[in-house]
Amino acid sequence: MTTVHEPAAAAVTSAELSVWPASTTETLPGDLSVAGVSLASVAERFGTPVYVLDEAEVRDRCRTYRDAFPDAEVLYAAKAFLCRAVAHWMAEEGLGLDVCSAGELELAVTTGFPPERIVLHGNAKSPRDLETALRLRVGRIVVDSPSEIARLAAAVGRDARQKVMVRVVPGISAGGHEKIRTGTDDQKFGLSIADGYAQHAIARILDQPQLELTGLHCHLGSQITSVKPYLVAVRRMVGLMARLYEHHGLILPELDLGGGHGIAYRPGEKALDLTALARKVRAELAEACATASIPVPRLLIEPGRAIVGPAGVALYHVLSVKHTGEHTFVAVDGGMSDNPRPALYGVRYAPRLIGRASTAAPARVTVVGRHCEAGDVLATDVALPADVRPGDVLAVPVAGAYHVSMASGYNLVGRPPVAAVRDGHARLLIRRESMEDIRSRDVGL
C-alpha cells in the first residue's frame, strides 16, 4: 500500500464536508451523522449497501430553486431518483415533475401528485406512455420526433386537446461527459433548428386542432457548471420564437430550458452558480425578447441531480483488501449494480471511512465493487486510512441522483434499500430487493 506523506486528520474538516448534506456532523471521532442520525447506525439497522437521503436537504434545495426562479415553473427531473416519498416532497414544496415513462408518471399520480403539474418527456415514447399520459391528463407532452405528432393527435381524439411542447436541438455542446451532452445535432434527442426539422414539426402541430402548442423545450446536457451555454440557448430559442411569430403569427407563452445543473462530487470541484444562472438567464431572456419584439415567455426549468444528488449518501461494508503490485484494492459489498455511473461516465467520488476512528496515515487505494467486471470501480486513487480492513463501513457522499434510479439486477444481488433521515430519525422509503422478489419474476420453469 502506497502511503501518502501527510498527517492523518484528527477530525473532519469543513472542506471535506463541503460535498456532504448540510446537516452532516462528526458526533464521535470517526463517525458522521446526517440529520442527527449516525450513518454507522443506519448501516447496522438496514444492512449494506444502503442509501441515505436527507429529507430536509432535499426540501431546502427545492426552496432554493423556487427563490432563485420566483416567476418560473420548477419541474423536478424524476429520472434522477423517484419514489413515493420524493413525489410527495415535491408536491408539498410546490414543484412540478418531469417524467420519462408511464411508470414514473403512474407512480407520481397514484401517490397523489397533481397530473397537471407533470411534463412527459422521451425520445421514443411507447404507446403505453402516451395512453397513460392522456388517461391521467398530464399537463404537457414534449414532442421529440415527427412521428409522435400524428400518433398523439389520433390518440387525443376529436373532442379533446392536449398541451404539447417541441423539444428543439439548439446546436450547443455542454455537459460533463460526451455521453450526457444532448444539445448537439449528432444525438438522439429533439428536432434540429439547423436542418429545419424543428420548424417543420411545429408547422405540423399547428395543423392539428387536437394539439395545443404552448412552448419550446431544450436540454443541453447534464453536469453543466457554466452559465454561458444557457445564455446561448436563450438567444437561439428566442430567435426561433421570433421566426415563428414572423411566419405564423404565433406567440408562444412558455420556454423550457431543461436542467443539467452541475454539482460538486468531490471537495474543491466546481458547481453551477444557481444565483448567477437565474439572474443572467432572466436578463438575457428579457433583452433577446425586446430585440425580437415578442413578449417574454414564462420560464420552465428541470433540475434533478442538483436537488437530490447532494442530499444522498451511499453506505457499504468492506469485504476485502487486496495488495497487487503497487495497487491496493478495497472491495465493498455493492458496486455497479447500485451505481453504474463510474463505469458509464468515469465519475469520481470521495468515499470516507466511518464508524471508527483511525490514526493511520492515509493511503492511495481503489475502491471496487463485488461484480464480475473489471470496470466495476467505484472510486479510483482515493485516500483512505492505511489500516482499512474487512468489516469497515465506507460512506460515499453525493449519492442521491442516478444511483438507485439506474440500479440493475446484475449478478442477482438485489437492489439496495433507501432510508430517509430527518430530525434524528431514520425511516425506510424503499426496502431491499429480496431473493423472493427476484424468484417471483422468474416464471419459466
**Active centre residues (catalytic):** 372
395 Cβ neighbours under 8 A, 6+ residues apart: 32, 39, 313, 314, 315, 351, 352, 353, 354
> Do residues 314 and 49 touch, judged by C-beta distance below 8 A?
yes
92 Cβ neighbours under 8 A, 6+ residues apart: 59
Closest CA to 336 of 222, 415, 400: 415
240 Cβ neighbours under 8 A, 6+ residues apart: 168, 193, 198, 199, 216
The residue type found at 386 is: A
d(CA 202, CA 334): 47
What three-state secondary structure class fits 327? strand
Residue 128 cell numbers, joined? 403505453
Residue 162 cell numbers, joined? 392536449
How far lies 192's CA from each of 150, 301, 412, in Å?
Answer: 19, 20, 41
